A and B are shown apart, each in its own frame.
Chain A
Amino acid sequence: MIFSIFNFQFPRRSAPGGPGGFLSIIPALEKLDRPITIFVGHFGSGKTEIAVNLAFLWQSIGKEVTIVDLDLIKPYFRCRLLREDFKARVIRLVAPGGEKFYADLPILMPEARGILERSLANNERVVLDVGGDDLGARVLGSVRDIIDRSKAHLLFVVNTMRPFAEDEQAIIKKLDQIEAAAQMKVTGLVANSHLMDETDLGVVGEGVELAERVSKATSIPLLFCAIISHLGAETFRAGGIELPVMPIVRHILPPFTSPPKGFLRPPSVV
């Protein structure tokens, strides 16, 4: 069944939605009781922007946050490009330094392991942005000795507008492959169906409906849905589903946006 756009009720924010005030996502995040959140999913499902938005949200409600760029798959548009923004918000970024910052090699720097270990010891919130597909998730095997599985949520991001993620079977197959590669079980689903600037609530609804079916079939809870912030949705309600909404602000944009953000600004200090 495809939801019609008219079935949705999206309560609008009555005032500027400062985190902590009006966002339904905050209580949902509080329920993420484990300190580590790892995002996995199909290639291009939106893990990076969700990881960045989550790091910013947590920082805004007073948490100490470390974000780890473990994306060994895509060469551009990685969260490490936001290092100045992270610095300004006192969010620790773990990513290759020096000229390896720009490389697309499967490397996790030894010093990165050290920082990760310290963050975990300090009980900080740690967000891991992992590359797409099972190939990207394989890197989790290399940090399995420092990540206590009982302290980590493995969240699977689904954008049903992407190739190879259009139906339930394809999504579940990918989920299984990722679990096998990561050697961890997915603990939650995140619905993230969008078409960038052409996203409408119909696209969002279709995605939530499909993610909900995956949730039923796998018994993995659908935790929240991500919706581009300009649509102004605070809670998703349709067809008996009610979900908190993470309003997504796109941070890693191509260079033709003005002012440019997050693409190839020369790094000042590593």
Chain B
Amino acid sequence: MAKKLMKGCEAIGEAAIQAGCRHFFGYPITPQNEIPEYMSARLPQVGGMFVQAESEVSASNMLYGAAGAGIRCFTSSSSPGISLMQEGISYIAGAELPVVFVNIMRGGPGLGGILPSQSDYFQSTKGGGHGDYRLLCLAPSTVQEAADLVQEAFDLADKYRNPVMILGDGLIGQMMEPVEFKKVINPEDLPEKPWATTGAKGRKPNVINSLYLDPEDLEKHNWKLVKKYEEMAKNEKRWEVFNLDKKADILFVAYGTVARIIKTAIEVLKEKGVNAALFRPITLFPFPGEALEETAAKCKHVFVSELSTGQMIEDVKYHLGKERKVHFYGRVGGMVMTPEELVEETLKIVK
């Protein structure tokens, strides 16, 4: 497929289609409206189904039903809408259903604003809904990576029978970049899901459920889920290390758009004689803590930057230990740091 110029949102939508997804259930909210808009135009062209639900709550329950029937399905929303979906997400995690969620984050809390933010890190990596569960959480930093990770997210969701969250700030959804789709999956070629509720013809019925009244059964179920999360932690950690040649004066830790701003800042810092590197987690859960530890050991200072008041920094500190000082710079409310701001902050630390 030749390259196209696409908004992040459009690329996410097309990636889902190329991953064999034919079903979208959702509700509009800025800054990700281009995803449902795109899906509503594209899905009928490929024999799919687009449903604008009456709310995010119902969309997440439609996903529960569709995923239970064994089909690839996804939704997208932005922060307040994802909050509304938390009930469904918890049920989907409990019932072990593969669903891909996309959160194009805007500033919060509450209704907040429509400009970019990364303030849903806790929500995506530490719960959000109730109960002992985890989402596999992927954070793209370019439009191409958003497309690639969405395609991968469908495979990961099926592999682990677990919801996968694509976490992008508003800019990932709104900016335009050239993009290509590397693989094309026909829904008919996808492997069968023997656990799905497909009519029970000639076999025992399958049950999709998250209700366990017997505490012994529920405890067993919860520990079974934990085993799955441990498997994810073993197999699925992804990260990028940028500009680390043996040793660095300072290591930035950032994901999404902030990581790109830092890459520009690193070039500016080079000219000022400061050798800076970047550690960019691509999976936020499972968090690539060991790789971070190893990378940070080669760097004098550690500097976390987020479009939040400090959320991922808690994971960074957890992995680097109490003794290690971790610097922080955050912008919130939809304000976005410039490379120059980060250069200035860095010079204060290294000088």
Contacts and interface: CB of A to CB of B under 8 A. Distances in A.
B335 A264 contact: yes
Q: Which 7 A-B pairs have the closest CB atoms?
A: A256-B260, A195-B178, A76-B174, A161-B5, A260-B338, A255-B336, A258-B339
24 contacts: A43-B34, A44-B7, A44-B176, A74-B174, A75-B114, A76-B116, A76-B170, A76-B174, A103-B114, A104-B114, A161-B3, A163-B10, A163-B14, A195-B178, A196-B177, A196-B178, A255-B257, A255-B261, A256-B257, A258-B264, A258-B268, A259-B338, A263-B336, A264-B334
Interface of A: 43-44, 74-77, 102-104, 159, 161-164, 194-198, 254-260, 263-264, 266
Given A161-B4, A163-B6, A163-B14, A257 B264 contact: yes
B300 to A, nearest CB: 24
Contacts of B320: none
Nearest to B42: A163
B171 interface: yes
B334 A102 contact: yes
A118 B305 CA distance: 47
Nearest to B263: A256
Given A75-B30, A76-B171, A195 B339 contact: no
Given A196-B177, A254-B175, 14 more contacts: A44-B7, A44-B176, A75-B115, A75-B170, A75-B174, A76-B31, A161-B5, A163-B6, A163-B38, A255-B261, A255-B337, A258-B338, A260-B338, A260-B340
Nearest to B5: A161
A252 B89 CA distance: 37
Contacts of B263: 256
Interface string B188-199: 000000000000
Interface in B292-323: none
A198 B180 CA distance: 12
Nearest to A159: B5
B113 interface: yes
A44 B174 contact: no
B335 A164 contact: no
Given A164-B41, A254-B175, A196 B257 contact: no
A162 B170 contact: no
A159 B261 CA distance: 28
Range, interface on chain B: 35 or more
Nearest to B13: A163
A164 B45 CA distance: 12
Contacts of B338: 255, 258-260
B260 A102 contact: no
B339 A260 contact: yes
B5 A256 contact: no
A254 B114 contact: no
Nearest to A260: B338
Name which of B170, B174, B175, B340 has the most chain A CB atoms within 10 A of its CB.
B175
B254 to A, nearest CB: 11
Contact of B340 (A103, A197, A258): A258
Interface in B69-118: 113-116
Nearest to A164: B41
Name which of B5, B10, B170, B267 has the most chain A CB atoms within 10 A of its CB.
B5
B52 to A, nearest CB: 15
Contact of A77 (B175, B178, B339): B175
A256 B30 contact: no
A143 B176 CA distance: 30
Interface string B33-51: 0100010010000000000
B162 to A, nearest CB: 31
A104 B178 CA distance: 25
Contacts of B336: 255, 263-264
A74 B340 CA distance: 27
A53 to B, nearest CB: 17
A163 B4 contact: yes
B253 to A, nearest CB: 16
A54 B317 CA distance: 50
Nearest to A193: B5
B174 A195 contact: no
A264 B261 CA distance: 14
A263 B334 CA distance: 11
Contacts of B170: 75-76
B178 A198 contact: yes
A194 B257 CA distance: 23
Nearest to B259: A256
Contacts of A102: 113-115, 334
Nearest to B335: A264
A198 B6 CA distance: 13
B104 to A, nearest CB: 11
Contacts of A104: 30, 114
A162 B5 contact: yes
B119 to A, nearest CB: 16
A260 B337 CA distance: 10
A212 to B, nearest CB: 20
